[in-house]
Chains A and B, each alone.
Chain A
Amino acid sequence: MIQGIFQYEFLQNAFLTGILIGFLAPLLGVFIVVRRLSLIADALSHVTLAGIAASLLLEKYFVALSGLNPLYLGMVFSVGGSLFIEKLRGVYKHYQELAIPIILSGGIGLGVIFISLADGFNTDLYSYLFGSVSAVSRTDLWVIFVISIVVVITVILLYKELFLLSFDEEHAKASGIAAKSIHFIFIIMVALVIAASMRIVGIMLVSSLMTLPVAASIRIAKGFKQTIFLSIVFGEIAVLGGLFSSYYLDLAPGGTIVMIAVAILVFTIVYKKIMIKNHVSQGGAAG
């Protein structure tokens, strides 16, 4: 397979894209998880599905659009969805979590209509749902590369504001941080990364790449920076391991990536349990 990566362009695309999203998804995922916004990623991925379906539909009826990469319309929908969520959170101030099921079901509903209009599923759509090793084009790779650069620079520049907003939103607002604008920038980044990640892990599983590595890392990390670091390490292990096994076992990579992430999570939980037990028994012996 290592030879394969050098030989085949599609494998190069898949692995390079994988490395990028294995970095990006957990990076933003840490902020999502600590701010208890995990489900937003789910809602946005389903909206992205509507965008993809819309793009595939347009492609079918308008020959001129046949070269259009579905990724673009997926991103447009995802960003649009994120703006809607923010709007709805403002409308339902006391039921902010309502925004998520509204957007999620709206996204699926719209997606299903587009899919039906396009006469049902095809293999292309399947690869968007569950990821694919062979479907990543060079253009996808470049688009995701640009997103990566933008997201990494933004996170570095806004790191202390994002941290404060995550740790203590009230205090952030009281101290005069432009909380609204920063949250807005953040949610747009999330929308872009979700659209970018679905090529590899698929729409159904994209949110797991943002949450599972973080869930594992949060168990054992010390401090916020280490949480980010470990989340990215776990994310990369899951993506690269998942892509390898997907290629060899001929499985959809979404499944293998997520299952590796789950395995890492279980491992960290058990590890932490053992550490606590040892700690307690040592303490008991000393006392």
Chain B
Amino acid sequence: MKSQSIIEIKNLSYRYEKDTVLENINISVPNGSFLAIVGPNGSGKSTLLKLILGLLKPQKGEIHLFGQDISKFKDWQQIGYVSQKANSFNTGFPATVFEVVSSGLTKKLGLFRFFQKEHTQKVHEALEAVGMRKFSNRNIGELSGGQQQRVFIARALVSEPKLLILDEPTVGVDAENVNSFYHMLADLNRQRGITLLLVTHDIGTISDKVTHVACLNKHLHFHGETSEFEKHRSEGMSEFYGTDVHLLSHHHDHGGVYK
């Protein structure tokens, strides 16, 4: 059982002082799946991600990564993370796309080790995977938001993770490019077998790309395969979110309202 799940979360609860943000969450992410965790603003999505990334410690319940309890898990190289903040970096930074993606190898290479030919190859492959190979020598600041986000995904991919976690990756991506962006993610999942975990408030555009959906609003309101989700959805959204459904209704403002 455990060996099949990349992430296994059991009875997880978390509170900041008096506010309970997550209560009794159970999620399992099977190897090779593409899971979208959907929830309105303040639903505990970010807290859940921080817990999975080991930035916060579970107060109640368990998290297993690659079959290992998170407190003992050391192999963080297996996990690539693209933060929401990736697109709020200093756009005037004088670095080429190639240099940015190379920086994803920093930890893997380790101290006092230099970049070799084989690494150049890896950077090009990662850029190829996100469709940005031909922008390799452009300065990162010259690209559009969506292109920059692809570069950051390449930076996460270059160290060859088995699991890629993305926090609201389409913030800052032009509306007309969102679809092709998700398409690229789906390709990473299907063709390269990378397990994807994506956090978003926007289920509309993505539901035909993901294999699993989890609806979060402090509690887990739904967790299962996408087909199951669609069936439930046609019967009305409110059962997933209770009272907070209105927050989702104005989806895709892409103005940074959802942080």
Contact = CB atoms under 8 A, between A and B. Distances in A.
Contacts of A224: 94-96, 99
- Sorting the interface of chain A by its residue count into under 10, 10 to 19, 20 to 34 or 35 or more gives 20 to 34
Contact of B55 (A163, A174, A223, A225): A174
A95 B92 CA distance: 23
Contacts of B53: 174
A18 B94 CA distance: 27
Contacts of B95: 163, 167, 223-224
Contacts of A225: 99
Contact of B94 (A36, A160, A221): A221
B106 interface: yes
The 8 lowest CB-CB distance pairs between A and B, nearest first, are: A223-B96, A227-B94, A224-B95, A175-B107, A164-B103, A160-B106, A164-B106, A224-B99
B229 interface: no
Nearest to B80: A175
A161 interface: yes
Contacts of B85: 170
A151 B213 CA distance: 52
A222 interface: yes
A167 B115 contact: no
A157 B113 CA distance: 8
B103 A167 contact: yes
A76 interface: no
B89 A168 contact: yes
Given A177-B106, A223-B139, A163 B93 contact: no
Interface in A216-269: 217-218, 221-227
B100 A167 contact: yes
Nearest to B96: A223
Interface of A: 34, 36, 157-158, 160-161, 163-164, 166-168, 170-172, 174-177, 217-218, 221-227
Given A163-B99, A174-B53, A218 B92 contact: yes
7 contacts: A160-B106, A167-B103, A174-B55, A174-B81, A175-B106, A223-B95, A225-B99
A165 to B, nearest CB: 9
Nearest to B97: A223
B137 interface: yes
B26 interface: no
Interface string B57-88: 00000000000000000001000010101100
A222 B139 CA distance: 6
B107 A222 contact: no
A171 to B, nearest CB: 7
A176 to B, nearest CB: 6
A179 B32 CA distance: 33
Given A164-B106, A225-B99, 11 more contacts: A157-B112, A160-B105, A163-B95, A163-B106, A164-B103, A167-B103, A170-B83, A170-B85, A223-B96, A223-B139, A224-B94
